[in-house]
Structure 1
Amino acid sequence: MVSSDSQYSYTSSSDTELYSPAADIEHPSYISKILSKTKPDEGKARKSIAETHAEGIENTLTRYESSTHGIGPIESVLDEEKPEQFDVKPDTELNEWDPWHYPVDSETGFRIVQFVDNDRDDPRCWTTRARWNYTILLGLVCFDVAMMSAIITGDMKSPAAHFGVSLEVMCLCVSLMVWGFGLGPLIFAPFSEEFGRNRVYQTTLLVAVCFIIPCGAATNIGMLLAFRFLDGVAFSAPMCLIGGSLSDMWRNEERGSAMAIFSVAPFLGPVMGPIVGSLLSVKCSWRWVYYFMIIFSGCLYGVMFIFLPETHHQTILQRRAKKLRAKGDSSYRAISEIKTRSVKKIAKDTLLRPIILLSELIVFLVTLYMAVIYGLLYMFFFAYPVVYGEGKHWGDIKTSLMFIPLGAGTILGTLAAPFLNKDYVKRAKKYIDRGQIPPAELRLIPMMIGCWFVPIGLFAYAWSSYPHISWAGPAFSGFSCGFGFMMLYNPANNYIVDSYQHYAASGLAAKTFVRSMWGGAVPLFTIQMYHRLGYEWASSLMAFISLACCAIPYLFYIYGARIRERSKYAYSPVQGELKDPEQGIDSSAQDMRSNHQLSERVIDNE
């Protein structure tokens, strides 16, 4: 048998040596067993082929079930089917023109298309340099979207005076965009399943860039507010898909640093926004804030359009299956072409289930906590101008520089993430070594440490904000808050994922929606709150609220397992025996391992 193309070459010199991989490509184990042995025992060979093929199918299905990372992903792809039900048809014939040699599945009658070992089309097998280039590009897009929401806070007075409206009305420019962030994923996330990530990126980013133009050219406040909201909806699509793109490219053990870039961008972007916005507004005009974003976002869109390849695994495999079918064999299918969801199920998973999960105590309280944190971030954008602008009579540029410690805190919190993850792995291994499944509550340990930094920072900000006290007190209190934000953010997401497993994405959807609604509401009352209560007590009020929230991770660390046992939706495995590591793990442990993989993939899209 002879088959060759640009990536693969197979030569047949004798019956004893039928398989020779190309220099840097290997076939999956079931292909090796088909092609590499001489006259094997027929029954044993077929059993081995079936087992290894089923394993390959299971890996593909695991990737497919957890590869959509925004709102409403596929949470149950197989329905009643089990991966082990897939079996190789005994009389399978391998097509010589098929470089991957996919066998026929006996149950479905299809040749299931999946990635092979070291497959060049598999995003996880791309070069490290290429994956880092794409990761940095996606991180910049996330940073761009986040900065767009807060860049106008660097100078709110100039556009307010131009349109003849109050500052409260101008605050709606921030609120409406943040609300758009919460609504957009409900619309766009399911499209990535159908069309792939790149089409969603390219379409929504183009629309978003175009919607910035009327913001900069607005002739009345209504026009500005309308397009800020539409911009928020359009810009939300990249925010809810970038986590999935990173998961497509990086394996679990490689993903820590890449996800750190994605995690810090939603916090660092808004922090940098006022600094850039104030410089542009003072040196040029408030309209140049939008013109700058058109240029910056447009350049990122162009680079992404030209250089970013498709990373969604099933989209890539669908295209491969389509090309193979075009050669004359219609039996080639990607998993996503066999198991699909109806429109009704998509609507249920996307819209209804997140609302249902808000009735779960774990989802409700963690969502409440993350909403408070997100609201505090946007509160600072309006509290700093009050404390420094009104209290100390500083200008916009000087005031915006006080956000630098807040940004430094978020960066330090991000740098701590790999160490926290190592600690989690170490603790989880102790449970596995004892034959137990690591509890979801292990994810709460960083929250139990980091939760105190937020109220400490807020109290310091409150009682050092007197006009006659040095600027350093309230400024550097932002460092503590920024560090606390990052110590809370990822562990909270991971706890929801570990607690709800197959419903995890719906739980994160509920959190994202509520968080965005509250984050958008905070700017509407922050200025009035500081004027009515005074600088000290307004900040102290938020400090007391964040202090009360510190009880949440401790509550779930103690009672979380019992709460999950009583829940209809939460994942609560029985602490059963694990098999010897050399022999594999039992089904409940496998569920937990899959859950841990999923938790590495869904850093909130936010």
Structure 2
Amino acid sequence: MEVIMSSSTVNDENESTSIYNPDQLELQNIQREVTRQLSKSLTNEEISHYEVELLENDIENISKRISYYRKWLITIILSITSVVVTMLSSCWSMASEKIIEHFGISREVSVLGISLYIWGLGVGPLFLSPISEFYGRKLTYIFGLSLCSCFQILSAFSPNIGGLLFGRFMSGFFGSAFLSVAGGTVTDIFQKNEIGVAMTVFSLAPFIGPALGPVISVFVVENIYFRWIFYILLITSGLMILLIILIVPETYKPVLLIKKAKRIRNETKDDKYFAPLEIALKEQSVWKNSLYGSKRPFTLLIYDRMMFILCFYTGLLLAIIYLFFVALPYIFRTVFKFSPYGQGLSFLGLLIGSIIGALPSQYFQSLYNIQSAKIGKLKPEFRLYPLLIGSFVVPIGLFIFAWTSYSNIHWIAPMIGCSIFSAGVALAFQGIFGYTADAYRLYAASGMACNSIMRSTMAGIFPLFGLQMYEKLGANWGSCLLALLTVVMIPFPFIFYKIGEKLRSKSPYTWSMD
């Protein structure tokens, strides 16, 4: 459930902010830099006159020109592609036994097929997201998914395990370019009063993909051949690239302004008209910006303890999710004597729970608006309500899963435990992502990036020892240990809610909403 979320907009009397939309902040940075550069040769009046702005009736203003149904078609295409990219992370789970047999490798080496893909998803946005800031979202989708598909070919046809594992990492690396910016397209095309349902649908996609991967994978692996799951996802990725080229337009405002500036220059024959990003492209190196951008998240993670704890918590939750991709087949095979088909279907508990946990997002958005209106200002701590609930739901689900994993208890009980746990994870992610973007507003992109690093690193490590842990401790105590780890984390959301404002005032990275 590697998730890089964007959520619906928040209204205030004076401003609107998105839960995670660092592009707006990047645009402001670009404009400030452009103004500084141009001030050397142009007066403020000339800058104001020749800098183009995106007006409602401009042909470049895509969000105003396309129909409501086209917006939903774009959202569905982006959501399905998100499902495909995240399915790639977990489809390996039910193909693992066949891969071990085919290549003659150990189980530990096989688990690297999951871990390397997750690590690729975590590292990729650090270097690839700046491409979208300079060249737009659509080019990033095409570039990222095309290379992701190329390395899927390596995974699908490699005659040795080394090539297959390398292909897995690089597929995750380039697939992450799509996940890191796709939510921004949805926020670009929908109006504030329309976006709620659309963002809920899109936000569900990265949760659905990892849980759906093993369900589909087991039927393909058992009835055809393990490589066919890679063939199918490769074909699907190619189809999604084609649909993105044909249907998904460029929606990133700085790039649209470049198109408008070019049009006006052609119409007026006056080369003074400019868009801020045009100057930034001349003054800044994309690759230098990528390398510099990869440094900032580590700085934030090291020097801000509050950010470290939030990132660690999301890392722990995602690590347990991916540990389950190794543990669930083992538990349902050894305890409940499930066939491979039953083992694959056991992941439906995670899928159902994820959907249930994501559904109340609009309620928490409304609660945030109400609480902010009461005190007359936006307060990041009001974003923590889903996390406060999720911090209790997560260990409850794990304890149920742990102590119902007995052969004399019906198998539906541990699946219910999985669903409750998964719902708690979805709630926790909503709260942490929302809080991160609001509290670290000027550093929102870096905050989300360091969160991605931490959770992907932990999620990639846990599967490497998960099966051995369950073999040593058993299904009950192994899951109980995980539950106890999440119990230890319960106080932190309440501490942040109570004294978060005081902690933020001491951090050089947070942003005051006074």
Q: Do these two structures clear the TM 0.5 threshold for a shared fold by scoring above it?
A: yes
The aligned residue for residue 362 of structure 1 is 306
Of 382, 386, 399, the residue aligned with 1:459 is: 399
Provide the aligned C-alpha RMSD in A.
2.6
Q: Which amino acid aligns with 2:190?
A: W
Within 5 Å, give how 1:273-284 maps onto structure 2.
273-284=213-224
> 1-side partners of 2:438 and 2:35: how far apart?
22
The aligned residue for residue 270 of structure 2 is 329
C-alpha displacement of 1:346: 2.2
Within 5 Å, give how 1:444-523 maps onto structure 2.
444-523=384-463
Please, which moves more after superposition, 338-347 or 564-573? 338-347
C-alpha displacement of 1:313: 1.4
> 2-side partners of 1:115 and 1:186: how far apart?
29
Q: For the structure 1 residues 438 and 317, does the alpha-carbon distance in structure 2 shift closer, same or farther, using more than 3 Å as the test?
A: closer
Q: Which amino acid aligns with 2:47?
A: T
C-alpha displacement of 1:218: 2.0
Of 379, 386, 391, the residue aligned with 2:335 is: 391
> 2-side partners of 1:376 and 1:286: how far apart?
25
Within 5 Å, give how 1:177-326 maps onto structure 2.
177-326=117-266
> 1-side partners of 2:206 and 2:105: how far apart?
29
Q: For the structure 1 residues 111 and 277, does the alpha-carbon distance in structure 2 shift closer, same or farther, using more than 3 Å as the test?
A: same
Within 5 Å, give how 1:92-103 maps onto structure 2.
none
The aligned residue for residue 106 of structure 1 is 45
The aligned residue for residue 55 of structure 1 is none
Mark the runs of 5 or more structure 2 residues left unpaired by the alignment. Answer: 1-13
Of 5, 24, 29, the residue aligned with 1:76 is: 29
- Determine if the alignment matches structure 1 residue 115 to structure 2 residue 54: yes
Contact 1:318 1:336 in 2 (8 A): yes
- SS of structure 2 residue aligned to 1:570: coil
C-alpha displacement of 1:254: 2.6
> 2-side partners of 1:266 and 1:487: how far apart?
14
Q: Which amino acid aligns with 1:386?
A: Y
Q: Deviations over 1:20-75 (max 9, x none)?
A: xxxxxxxxxxxxxxxxxxxxxxxxxxxxxxxxxxxxxx99xx99x95638xx9567
Of 54, 67, 73, the residue aligned with 1:133 is: 73
- SS of structure 2 residue aligned to 1:326: helix
Mark the runs of 5 or more structure 1 residues left unpaired by the alignment. Answer: 1-57, 90-103, 575-606
Q: Which amino acid aligns with 1:362?
A: M
The aligned residue for residue 428 of structure 1 is 372
> 1-side partners of 2:58 and 2:352: how far apart?
40
Q: For the structure 1 residues 67 and 449, does the alpha-carbon distance in structure 2 shift closer, same or farther, using more than 3 Å as the test?
A: closer
Q: Which amino acid aligns with 2:293?
A: T
Q: Which amino acid aligns with 1:557?
A: Y
- Determine if the alignment matches structure 1 residue 376 to structure 2 residue 320: yes
Contact 2:128 2:290 in 1 (8 A): no
Within 5 Å, give how 1:25-104 maps onto structure 2.
66=21, 68=23, 76-79=29-32
The aligned residue for residue 25 of structure 1 is none
C-alpha displacement of 1:560: 0.6
Q: For the structure 1 residues 224 and 530, does the alpha-carbon distance in structure 2 shift closer, same or farther, using more than 3 Å as the test?
A: same
> 1-side partners of 2:217 and 2:26: how far apart?
36
The aligned residue for residue 96 of structure 2 is 156
Higher helix share: 2
Contact 2:136 2:250 in 1 (8 A): yes
Of 332, 342, 355, the residue aligned with 1:411 is: 355
> 2-side partners of 1:443 and 1:386: how far apart?
37
Q: How many residues align?
A: 492
- Determine if the alignment matches structure 1 residue 342 to structure 2 residue 297: no
Contact 1:153 1:382 in 2 (8 A): yes
Contact 1:110 1:333 in 2 (8 A): no
- SS of structure 1 residue aligned to 2:55: coil
Q: Deviations over 1:555-604 (max 9, x none)?
A: 10111111111111211355xxxxxxxxxxxxxxxxxxxxxxxxxxxxxx
Contact 1:67 1:247 in 2 (8 A): no
- SS of structure 2 residue aligned to 1:156: helix
> 1-side partners of 2:478 and 2:154: how far apart?
36
- SS of structure 1 residue aligned to 2:337: coil
Q: Deviations over 1:374-405 (max 9, x none)?
A: 11111111111111112222122111111112
Contact 1:197 1:310 in 2 (8 A): yes
Contact 2:22 2:445 in 1 (8 A): no
Identity of aligned residues (%): 32
> 2-side partners of 1:81 and 1:330: how far apart?
16
C-alpha displacement of 1:484: 0.8
Please, which moves more after superposition, 198-207 or 502-511? 198-207
> 2-side partners of 1:225 and 1:348: how far apart?
25
Please, which moves more after superposition, 453-462 or 479-488? 479-488
C-alpha displacement of 1:535: 1.0
> 2-side partners of 1:107 and 1:362: how far apart?
45
> 1-side partners of 2:361 and 2:458: how far apart?
26
Contact 2:22 2:444 in 1 (8 A): no
- SS of structure 2 residue aligned to 1:452: helix
Q: Deviations over 1:406-464 (max 9, x none)?
A: 211111122211111111111111122xxxx2321111112111221110000011111
> 2-side partners of 1:169 and 1:488: how far apart?
32
Q: Which amino acid aligns with 1:68?
A: D
C-alpha displacement of 1:365: 0.8
Q: For the structure 1 residues 75 and 407, does the alpha-carbon distance in structure 2 shift closer, same or farther, using more than 3 Å as the test?
A: farther
Q: Deviations over 1:294-340 (max 9, x none)?
A: 12111111111222111111111101211221231112111323456
TM-score by length of 2: 0.90
Contact 1:105 1:112 in 2 (8 A): no
Q: Deviations over 1:232-254 (max 9, x none)?
A: 11111101110221122123333
Please, which moves more after superposition, 118-127 or 142-151? 118-127
Q: Which amino acid aligns with 2:358?
A: T
Of 544, 548, 564, the residue aligned with 2:504 is: 564
- SS of structure 1 residue aligned to 2:353: helix
> 2-side partners of 1:549 and 1:495: how far apart?
17
C-alpha displacement of 1:348: 6.5
Q: Which has the larger radius of gyration?
A: 1
> 2-side partners of 1:267 and 1:573: how far apart?
31
